[in-house]
Amino acid sequence: MTQDLSKTDELRPEQRLGSILRASAGNMVECFDWFSYAAFALYFAKVFFPAGDQTAQLLSSAAVYAVGFFFRPLGAWLMGLYGDRVGRRGALIASVWLMCIGSMAIAVCPGYATIGIAAPIILVLARILQGISMGGEYGTSATYMSEMAGRRDRGFWSGVFYATLMSGQLLSLALFLVLGHILSPETMQAWGWRIPFFIGGALALIVFWLRQDMKETPSFMARNRVRVTTWDLVRSHPRQSLMVMGLTAGGTLGYYTFGTYIQKFLANTSGFSKDQASLITAGAMFIFMLAQPLIGGLSDRIGRRPLLIAFGVMGAAMTWPVLYALSYTNDVGTALILVTGALLVVSLYSAVNAVVKAELFPTEVRALGVSLPYSLANAVFGGTAEFVALAFKQAGHETWFFTYVTVVILGSLLVYLSLPDTRANSQILED
């Protein structure tokens, strides 16, 4: 069956907008659940891993955090294939169900003092479910957004898409600050940390209801109806797949360094209180979120490639000095400026990365092509960021992590230099 490009006219602008926002709402909820683990680990690490000092406990919780990342490729593979064979909408509904189950499992799981070794085992299993869900959600929703948006404004919608990811993280941080203000540290340690996981599970049910009426994308409806396999991706699109992994490595490591691990870095290295570290992170992330649509829209004017190259150059140049300066500052304002500046550099990658990946692949393998290579790189570089950083710190060589991030970003810069500008060479034909 050949593609019928006239099918794009069947969706009115308001239908496109509504569908994009429903897909993005799922992103927000899944990221709220995902990052609640990272934010509230400062409290529940001791509940599941009672032995050792604070760094050792955080190291254990970071290892479980990384386990979730390593199962993201499985979710990307399963949901990517499902999205290419059955539909983007069905995959998005399945992914939000898995996140709901994983969040509720963490919310109700007893601690180590009650059930012993079973507690961290249940925590690991719940994070595996969340990892499968998150792996499937990101790639499929990025594909859905890219296919629903028109060619002229696709970069802008990519920025909006990433902003919804940030809104989920910001909601998690905001809840962390509110609960930390109204509940005592002892109460947070005892049961307060469970609240975000209950909220996340409930929000996932709401998103499931919203997604029932989502429209399927014109690209999927007009596709060549062939049965997609993983081998099709590897055999026919090896260069694009490797490019996705390469362009993701530096960007995801930069983001998880300055957007996630930085909260623990400020508390564990710089010496800020937990509330101060969270406030600095939340303020910087809020500005970062607002920048996404603006930078995405800029890519619709000047192209995606110049922004990625700018991130590679500036990211490699600023990482070491910013982290080094943060390790010695005890001023909240200075820390906020440094973290915000670093995240604005990262936004040159984050605002366009979803659409660049989607524009590299044809419809028949797009969901799998966006999901699987991205998740593999994200697991290796993003998911291990906290673990690597804390391991270097525990070994007494924290600055080695600064060098590690710099080198990975430089590696991605080489990919950006060889990448065609996907705005002018998009494989998304239905506009």
What value does the mean pLDDT take over residues 190-198?
Answer: 91
pLDDT at 3 over 50: no
pLDDT (0 to 100) of residue 185: 84
Asked whether the predicted pLDDT for residue 7 surpasses 60, the reply is: no
Most confident range, picked from 30-34, 145-149, 163-167, 288-292:
288-292
The pLDDT score that the predictor gives to residue 13 is 66
Q: What is the pLDDT of residue 127?
A: 86
Band of residue 399 on the pLDDT scale cut at 50, 70, 90? very high
Domain that holds residue 141: 11-418
Asked if residue 124 lies in contact with residue 49, where contact means CB atoms within 8 angstroms, the answer is no
Burial class (CB in 10 A: 0-12, 13-18, 19+), 273: exposed
CATH number, domain containing residue 348: 1.20.1250.20
Q: Which residue has the higher pLDDT, 104 or 9?
A: 104
Output the six-digit token pair for 128: 């595996």
Which ranges in 303-398 belong to alpha helices (H)?
305-328, 332-359, 366-377, 385-394
In this predicted model, what pLDDT tens digit does every residue of 378-392 receive, in sequence order? 888 987 898 899 999
Distance separating alpha carbons of residues 93 and 212, to the nearest angstrom:
8
Q: Is residue 242 in a domain? A: yes
Q: Summarize pLDDT for 173-185 with one digit per residue, the tens.
A: 789 888 988 998 8
Question: How many other C-beta atoms can be found within 10 angstroms of the C-beta atom of residue 165?
Answer: 25
In this prediction, residue 40 has a pLDDT band, given cuts at 50, 70 and 90, of confident
Identify the residue with better confidence: 383 or 109: 109
Alpha carbons 181 and 175: distance in angstroms, whole number: 10
Residue 238 counted as domain residue: yes
Report if residue 149 sits inside a domain: yes
Decide if 85 is inside a domain: yes
Q: Is residue 207 part of a domain?
A: yes
What integer is the mean pLDDT of 370-377?
A: 90
What pLDDT is recorded for position 54? 63
Of 28-32, 83-87, 238-242, highest mean pLDDT = 238-242
Mean pLDDT, range 208-225, rounded to an integer? 78
Question: Is the residue at 425 inside a domain?
Answer: no
Residue 10's pLDDT is what? 59
pLDDT beyond 70 at 204: yes
pLDDT at 145 over 90: no
d(C-alpha 266, C-alpha 274), whole Å: 8
Indicate the range of 48-62, 361-375, 396-410 predicted with least confidence.
48-62
Q: Determine, yes or no, domain membership for 178.
A: yes
Q: How many whole angstroms separate alpha carbon 119 and alpha carbon 127?
A: 12
The verdict on residue 426 lying in a domain is: no
Confidence of residue 427 (pLDDT cuts 50, 70, 90): confident
Give residue 2's pLDDT: 38
Phi, psi of 283 (to 5 degrees): -60, -45
Nearest 5 degrees, angle CA 260-CA 96-CA 49?
45
Q: Give the count of domains, the chain.
A: 1
Averaged over 394-402, what is the pLDDT?
92
pTM exceeds 0.85: no
Task: Please state, for a pLDDT cut of 70, what percent of the chain lies above it.
Answer: 93
